[in-house]
């Protein structure tokens, strides 16, 4: 279906609405049942008051069919039909006259559709293509898990639209038995369920100064879900790992042609074999009790609990055992902390999530009457469960908040502090978390070239009246 803008004008003396019977006939013509019979869908309609001009936003198979449908209006005046687009399509394509991007490697979800779904779910869109959106901070409040539609989205390429009936996960390289699994095969293997918080390594990038290139994440590139799938160790054991293997390479279906002689770039990441053989990495096919949504890796993705989400490869199609450190683009060039110290460049790979706490309630600049004030939020860490969360009210001493939910190894921790405030004016609230590995948040995170791991103490200001 194509989108069109229709404009109809008629002289004032020939206004069809002056005759109640003709006016009623036109209303019946525009009725939803009649419109459907003509293969047309009206998205919106408006009449410019006093100007005898009608505008319609219409979906139709083609312009000729639409003109035939609009014939009664053409008999009363002029009829102009313009091929149109949506704002989501224009932004996703990069301009009003630009063509929509086309996936070069695999079938892909329409960028307009993906973007529109994110907008309707209330996500904060940072980029329409590739689609990158964060969860709004108010939407983080609630239960243990984030509803699938509101879970933040991070992509480097267009979203693959894989056929589950032909999908295969291959396991090869330095293995005794190369394997190929269908989706049904994976469902028949031993399953495991984990509640895991995923966070983009660039979460909080906009809070670094000076500004850093990259996706402009505020603080909402984090969400928690219940993931169900096959333990990675189960698949590795079935394949049989040869003695020379050092790393496990995971390859997603998403990618693009590089434009050079090196061939296409795929999204690929590796784990050292010891970590990959732990019981925790999961080949997930379900999210919050439902099949993985396409934007979160359907039909299969890797979940690496405790690590920044770059390790949790989506649209997983290949696992390869290799005898050397992997040197792919998203392993070596991206996702490294990089600092300059004493005239030397120091690098460290992005792995475990840093400890962090967020104030979800109250919202910045919210107004309250003097008296009781509830401060609530979440905290998480990749190294260990949260040990304590502390809140400073109005620049005062740190007060320990109450941990609300049960401690879980890989899931965020809800907390709250009920306090009393009497002094009117602007009130500053600060929060910091400490985990059971005795890691705590810094006053300021050290600036790094790619803007990763900003876990500085958060501050929110409210107004007391």
Q: Percent of the chain beyond pLDDT 70?
A: 99
Query: In Å, what is the CA distance from 358 to each residue of 122, 361, 414, 454, 458?
Result: 20, 9, 10, 12, 7
Residues 6+ apart with CB under 8 A from 18: none
Cα of first residue to Cα of last residue in the chain, in angstroms, is 54
Q: DSSP character for 343?
A: T
Distance between CA atoms of residues 248 and 269, nearest Å: 9
Query: In Å, what is the CA distance from 373 to each residue of 96, 173, 366, 400?
Result: 48, 58, 12, 15
Contact 78, 10 (CB under 8 A): yes
pLDDT class for 71, splitting at 50, 70, 90? Answer: very high
Residues 6+ apart with CB under 8 A from 256: 103, 104, 105, 157, 158, 264, 265
Sheet strand arrangement including 78-83: 40-48, 53-60, 2-9, 78-83
Per-residue b/e over 149-172, b at no fewer than 16 CB within 10 Å? ebbbbbbbbbbbbbeeeebebebe
Distance between CA atoms of residues 174 and 243, nearest Å: 8
Residues 6+ apart with CB under 8 A from 297: 252, 284, 313, 314, 315, 316
Q: Is 135 exposed, middle or buried (0-12, 13-18, 19+ CB in 10 A)?
A: buried
pLDDT class for 399, splitting at 50, 70, 90? Answer: very high
Can you tell me the mean pLDDT for 383-392? 97
pTM: 0.92
Q: What is the pLDDT of residues 155-198, one digit of tens each?
A: 999 999 999 999 999 999 999 999 999 999 999 999 999 999 99
Look up the CATH number of domain 2-83. 3.30.70.1060
Does this chain's domain 2-83 share its CATH topology with 356-464? no
Distance between CA atoms of residues 107 and 158, nearest Å: 9
* pLDDT score at 261: 65
Query: In Å, what is the CA distance from 381 to each residue of 35, 384, 387?
Result: 55, 6, 10
Q: Kind of pairing, strands 316-322 and 169-173?
A: parallel
Q: Kind of pairing, strands 413-421 and 371-380?
A: antiparallel
Can you tell me the mean pLDDT for 240-252? 97
* pLDDT score at 139: 87
Within 13 Å and on the Cβ side, how many CA atoms surround 346? 8
CA angle 138, 143, 147 (to 5 degrees): 75
pLDDT class for 29, splitting at 50, 70, 90? Answer: very high
Distance between CA atoms of residues 171 and 393, nearest Å: 54
Distance between CA atoms of residues 429 and 395, nearest Å: 8
Select from 435, 410, 413, 414 the least CA-distant residue to 196: 410
Residues 6+ apart with CB under 8 A from 20: none
* pLDDT score at 353: 98
Can you tell me the mean pLDDT for 217-243? 97
Contact 146, 140 (CB under 8 A): yes
Q: Which residue has the higher pLDDT, 238 or 103?
A: 238
pLDDT class for 279, splitting at 50, 70, 90? Answer: confident
Residue 405 has pLDDT above 90, yes or no: no
* pLDDT score at 260: 64
Question: CATH 1.20.120.80: does it fit domain 356-464?
Answer: no
Q: DSSP character for 14?
A: G
Residue 381 has pLDDT above 70, yes or no: yes
pLDDT class for 259, splitting at 50, 70, 90? Answer: low
Contact 201, 169 (CB under 8 A): no
* pLDDT score at 165: 96
Domain boundaries, the chain: 2-83, 148-334, 356-464
Q: What is the pLDDT of residues 411-453, one digit of tens each?
A: 999 999 999 999 899 999 999 999 999 999 999 999 999 999 9
Can you tell me the mean pLDDT for 234-245? 97
Residue 43 has pLDDT above 90, yes or no: yes
Contact 60, 4 (CB under 8 A): yes
* pLDDT score at 100: 84
Residue 390 has pLDDT above 70, yes or no: yes
Question: Topology of 148-334 in CATH?
Answer: Sulfite Oxidase; Chain A, domain 2 (3.90.420)
List % helix, strand, coil for the chain (3-state, nearest 5): 20, 40, 40
Contact 433, 197 (CB under 8 A): no
Q: What is the pLDDT of residues 321-333, one digit of tens each?
A: 999 999 999 999 9
Total Cβ atoms within 10 A of residue 423: 9
Mean of per-residue pLDDT scores for the chain: 95
């Amino acid at each position: 279906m194509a989108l069109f803008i229709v404009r109809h004008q008629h002289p004032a003396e020939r206004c069809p609405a002056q005759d109640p019977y003709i006016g009623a006939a036109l209303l019946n013509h525009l009725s939803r049942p009649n419109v459907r019979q003509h293969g047309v869908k009206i998205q919106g309609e408006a009449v410019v008051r006093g100007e005898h001009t009608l505008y319609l936003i219409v979906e139709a198979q083609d312009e000729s069919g639409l003109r035939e449908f609009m014939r009664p209006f053409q008999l009363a005046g002029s009829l102009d039909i313009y091929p149109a687009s949506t704002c989501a399509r224009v932004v996703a394509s990069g301009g009003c006259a630009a063509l929509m991007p086309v996936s070069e490697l695999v079938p892909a979800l329409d960028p307009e559709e993906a973007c529109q779904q994110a907008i309707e779910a209330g996500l904060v869109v940072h980029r329409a293509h590739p689609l990158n959106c964060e969860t709004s901070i108010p939407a983080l409040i609630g239960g243990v898990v984030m509803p699938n539609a509101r879970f933040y989205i991070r992509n480097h390429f267009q979203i693959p639209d894989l056929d589950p009936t032909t999908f295969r996960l291959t396991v090869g390289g330095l293995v005794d038995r190369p394997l190929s699994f269908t989706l049904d095969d994976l469902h028949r293997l031993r399953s495991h369920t984990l509640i895991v918080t995923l966070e983009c390594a660039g979460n909080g990038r906009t809070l670094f100064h000076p500004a850093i290139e990259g996706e402009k994440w505020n603080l909402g590139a984090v969400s928690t879900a219940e993931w169900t799938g096959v333990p990675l160790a189960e698949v590795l054991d079935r394949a049989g790992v040869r003695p020379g293997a050092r790393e496990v390479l995971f390859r997603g279906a998403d990618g693009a042609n590089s434009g050079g002689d090196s061939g296409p770039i795929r999204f690929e990441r590796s784990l050292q074999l010891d970590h990959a053989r732990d019981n925790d990495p999961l080949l997930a096919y379900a999210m919050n009790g439902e099949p993985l949504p396409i934007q979160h890796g359907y039909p299969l993705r890797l979940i690496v609990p405790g690590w920044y989400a770059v390790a949790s490869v989506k649209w997983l199609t290949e696992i390869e055992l290799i005898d050397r450190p992997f040197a792919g683009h998203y392993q070596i060039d991206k996702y490294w902390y990089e600092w300059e110290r004493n005239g030397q460049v120091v690098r460290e790979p992005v792995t475990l999530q840093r400890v962090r706490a967020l104030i979800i309630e109250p919202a910045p600049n919210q107004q309250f009457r003097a008296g009781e004030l509830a401060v609530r939020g979440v905290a998480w860490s990749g190294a260990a469960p949260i040990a304590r969360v502390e809140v400073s009210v109005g620049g005062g001493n740190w007060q320990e908040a109450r941990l609300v939910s049960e401690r879980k190894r890989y899931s965020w921790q809800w907390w709250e502090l009920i306090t009393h405030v009497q002094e009117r004016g602007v009130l500053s609230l600060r929060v910091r978390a400490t985990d059971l590995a005795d890691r705590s948040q810094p006053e300021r995170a050290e600036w790094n070239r790619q803007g990763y791991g900003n876990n500085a103490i958060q501050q929110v200001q409210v107004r007391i009246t």
